[in-house]
Amino acid sequence: MDDDAVHLAQNQANRRLGLILGTVAAAFFLGFLARVFILSGQVG
């Protein structure tokens, strides 16, 4: 019974960490795309 509770808590922690890391990665990617778009607009 105790192992199930620990397993469930670990799954929730892993899911939260994955969501945070995915959000950070998406923010960097969108920032990179915005920078490329802005710089390409200034050059042209």
Question: Does this model's pTM top 0.85?
Answer: no
Encoding tokens for residue 32? 């990179």
Q: How many CA atoms lie within 13 A of 7 on its CB side?
A: 4
- Is residue 35 predicted with pLDDT exceeding 80? yes
* Residue ranges covered by each domain of the chain: 1-44
What would the pLDDT profile of 1-33 be if each residue is shown by its tens digit?
Answer: 588 999 999 999 999 999 999 999 999 999 999
Encoding tokens for residue 10? 């670990």
Separation of alpha carbons 32 and 35, rounded Å: 5
DSSP string, 4-37: HHHHHHHHHHHHHHHHHHHHHHHHHHHHHHHHHH
- Mean pLDDT confidence for 28-40: 93
- Is residue 44 predicted with pLDDT exceeding 60? no
- Is residue 43 predicted with pLDDT exceeding 90? no
